[in-house]
Chain A
């Protein structure tokens, strides 16, 4: 699978201070990439550089396999974005704001405006002036604008800001549908771990301007999952007994005499009894592993997501 977006040693300095330092992002086509970091970690500055709003001090950006410098206009035609806050002309209606977008993106078909407003549930409010919109409605309209020209890559900076819990759930489902049904790649930045956890197929963790880790969500889950670490005298037989007697399937033989059991985390006594009563010598059973938040805290040196 190819990459729709890559950065090479992307850096932004103000004076001596590097607010983004040597970032190498790699987003594959079809990824929902969660860009996770505290407020002020450098997420928005990075996204601004991707959209050409800020000039990098060093490094390169590659969109759809081509450098941004030489083919900015062509690349941006294939990208939809909300950077930090969806700004609109408040004196105009939602439909008029989208009409401006349609013209500037060179789209011929006016029907796309109604289509996209239907997608985000704002069709009934399309003639309302945007100054009368709530923050949540503006956020939806921002998503509509980002989708209007059928982009292949969506770059969304904290897109659930201002949405109520129902709205967040709907928007999340919309992103999942866009990725699964239309094959749109999504780069979504957030400081909300829960948000990223529910959406992302790949995660980049940024802290103090540095990309600390870039990892597939499945691999992260494996790293961050909690499990019962069982030390036994015969791990193969212990695994067989757990399968046969308790119906366990989610486990890993982690080493000689060590089993990691990812289910029945609250049934350590029953596991112990089952193994012992079948002649397995159990030396130790410990609940181990990290939650995703613990994992984040560990690699960022204890920084809390706020």
Chain B
């Protein structure tokens, strides 16, 4: 299984997939660095660097761009086998088709993790500097790390939907349309700051970001929609994954597909 995953990662060499990672990474880093601009506290004194605010900005940016970018990454990894007509060879190997699907999804998870880690580089660099100067609250650093891990895990929940669209469409275009659609919805949802927005599976990764924001706004209490949102996301993941497994394992591969 590891060798199959390894080959999936090899296939990404010299591709433009890293540009997609950068598109997710750069805005998140730039927006979180805005927190470094000079600010005045309500008392009229200069305000210090707020690490929690930096994490919030980074998480918000990542959860707006992430769904579209991660869908495109999935689309590329799945659909290119059809578009470049390598699917004939791929399915002729003495390897179960489901193993290829698992390896491809694992490759997407690795890219999501890479994007998440790189998007929080500037926050962690600033955080490390503050820790060195003994001005940082280690608890906030841990909260930020936990938020990023949750974004990563929750973002993976909708990946099988993008995978299903790619294998049925045998093309990246359906996934690109999905990406545009979910970006619009996530941007509107996050701008509204509504608690129930996280019920939309592509917005569920915003839940841990919002939890962090609630801390900033002194708005205590957990999001009442968290459990239903997680149920919706889990169902989305399971149903679309079952579809992917069945379709990938059973579909005929025809000329030109």
Is A84 at the interface (CB under 8 A from chain B)?
Answer: yes
Query: A71-79, A163-171, A272-280: which lies at the B interface?
Result: A71-79
B88:A96 contact, CB within 8 angstroms: no
Per-residue 0/1 for B68-90: is the Cβ within 8 Å of any A Cβ (1 yes, 0 no)?
A: 00000000000000001111110
Q: Within residues 139 to 167 of chain B, which ones have a CB less than 8 A from any CB in chain A?
A: none
Give A92 to B254 CA distance when docked, in angstroms: 25
Is A99 at the interface (CB under 8 A from chain B)?
Answer: yes
* A192 → chain B closest CB, angstroms: 19
A87:B93 contact, CB within 8 angstroms: no
Per-residue 0/1 for A125-144: is the Cβ within 8 Å of any B Cβ (1 yes, 0 no)?
A: 00001000000000000000
Please judge, given known A-B contacts A72-B94, A76-B94, whether A104 and B4 are in contact too, CB under 8 Å. Answer: yes
Q: Which of A86, A96, A99, A104 has the most CB of B within 10 A?
A: A104
A100:B253 contact, CB within 8 angstroms: no
* A87 → chain B closest CB, angstroms: 4
Is A48 at the interface (CB under 8 A from chain B)?
Answer: yes
* Cβ contact of B84, chosen from A54, A79, A87, cutoff 8 A: A87
Q: Count A interface residues, CB 8 Å.
A: 35
Query: B10-18, B49-57, B191-199: which lies at the A interface?
Result: B10-18
In chain A, what residue has the closest Cβ to B82?
A: A87
Is A69 at the interface (CB under 8 A from chain B)?
Answer: no
B11:A89 contact, CB within 8 angstroms: yes
In chain A, what residue has the closest Cβ to B88?
A: A83
Is B92 at the interface (CB under 8 A from chain A)?
Answer: yes
B94:A91 contact, CB within 8 angstroms: no
Band of interface residues on B = 20 to 34
A53:B14 contact, CB within 8 angstroms: no
Q: Collect the chain B residues with CB atoms within 8 Å of residue A84's CB.
A: 88, 255
B3:A103 contact, CB within 8 angstroms: yes
A104:B14 contact, CB within 8 angstroms: no
* Cβ contact of B13, chosen from A55, A83, A92, A105, cutoff 8 A: A92
A87:B85 contact, CB within 8 angstroms: yes
* A106 → chain B closest CB, angstroms: 8
Q: Collect the chain A residues with CB atoms within 8 Å of residue B85's CB.
A: 85, 87
Please judge, given known A-B contacts A92-B11, A92-B13, A100-B7, whether A44 and B255 are in contact too, CB under 8 Å. Answer: yes
Give A46 to B19 CA distance when docked, in angstroms: 41
Is B95 at the interface (CB under 8 A from chain A)?
Answer: yes
Per-residue 0/1 for A29-42: is the Cβ within 8 Å of any B Cβ (1 yes, 0 no)?
A: 00000000000000
Give A90 to B254 CA distance when docked, in angstroms: 21
In chain B, what residue has the closest Cβ to A76?
A: B94
Is A6 at the interface (CB under 8 A from chain B)?
Answer: no
Q: Collect the chain A residues with CB atoms within 8 Å of residue B96's CB.
A: 73
Please judge, given known A-B contacts A53-B88, A72-B94, A77-B94, whether A100 and B11 are in contact too, CB under 8 Å. Answer: yes
Q: Which of A55, A103, A106 has the most CB of B within 10 A?
A: A103
* Cβ contact of B89, chosen from A52, A54, A72, A145, cutoff 8 A: A145
Chain A to chain B: the 10 pairs with minimum beta-carbon distance, closest first: A73-B94, A87-B85, A87-B86, A53-B253, A91-B14, A76-B94, A54-B252, A83-B88, A104-B93, A100-B7
A selection of 8 A-B contacts at a CB cut-off of 8 Å is A51-B88, A53-B91, A54-B253, A74-B94, A89-B86, A92-B13, A103-B6, A105-B94
